[in-house]
Amino acid sequence: MAAIVLGVGASHSTLMNTHWDQVVHTERAEAFRDGLAAARARIAEARPDVVVVVGSNHFRGFWLDLIPSFTLGVGEVVAAGDGGTPQGPQRTDPEFARALAAALVDAGTEVAISARLTIDHGQTHAIQWLLDGIDVPVVPLVVNVFAAPLPRMSRCVELGANLAAAVAGMPDDKRVVVVSSGGLSHQLPWPSDWTAPEGEDEEFLVEAWLNGRGQWSRYDKRRREIIVGARPTIFSEFDEEFLADLERGDLRSYAELTTEEIEARAGNGGQELRTWMVMASALGFAPGQALAYSPMPEWLTGMGAAVIERGESTP
């Protein structure tokens, strides 16, 4: 039978690609980059046949006209190429992805499917840094972390458990790695309520979220200026506690956090921790290993990287 053999969690930020020359905290930046390299080495050692990449979408493949809680790419996958990340068609395994989607629905997690999915740096940053030189197909699993109402953390835990069971039920012997991309703490200049934007910048962002389908690049220049101009807000104490709990195998308790509690403790960008919860749950909440943590105000984010080996209780 197929099996999940490794889980990896890693923060993403396109500013790592586009603004490296403006980094002040050089040692921190290099430490995080080294952590990504260590995670990549662990993935290579795991010899995966397929990698499920759990990440968000920053309004380049999904728009306010339709945003499911969970979406699985089951056919063509095209990378947007934003912020210096990979661009164009990605190598995929549609047969595995479709079987995975069917098994998840049978288990009670009704994932949406996309036969032509556009992914952005919410997943391609991980592909760029963690799968560099590893020739393996990817199956994107997109979690809505931006447009309220967001899926409950407990539903993300359920998704991860059902993902593990679905993989274990596959008839072949594929080795599967689950990568989560996003977080840790950060605060983006998004409107807190997309139905009631405040000020010209928020009004522009909501317009882009509503009307960007097929023309996201038209909005990208100003959108990026808004983001780059944001005041860094990082909750290092929360990040360090989260990674310590990951090492102890204690992340299950985070399933009780509400959207409001996450934002208060980790900023609105902390909502991306849902992707880590999917991954950790798929690995049976086994104790893991933090590979790096670097609070990077230049990248607006607390940057963390960690791995979790397959736990004894994982199907």
Look at residue 199 and give its three-state secondary structure: helix
Considering the candidates 12, 58, 125, 186, report the single residue annotated as catalytic. 186
Considering the candidates 12, 58, 121, 125, report the single residue annotated as catalytic. 121
Q: Is-contact 253 219, C-beta < 8 A?
A: no
- The residues, any chain, with a CB within 8 Å of residue 64's CB and separated by 6 or more, are 147, 194, 206, 209, 210
Separation of alpha carbons 144 and 62, rounded Å: 9
Please confirm, yes or no, whether 121 is among the known catalytic residues.
yes
DSSP assignment of 204-257: HHHHHHHH-TT-HHHHHHHHHHHHHTSPP---HHHHHHHHHHHHHT-GGGGGG-
- For residue 186, give the DSSP letter: B
- Among residues 216, 217, 214, 223, the alpha carbon closest in space to that of 191 is found at 223
The catalytic site residues sit at 121, 186
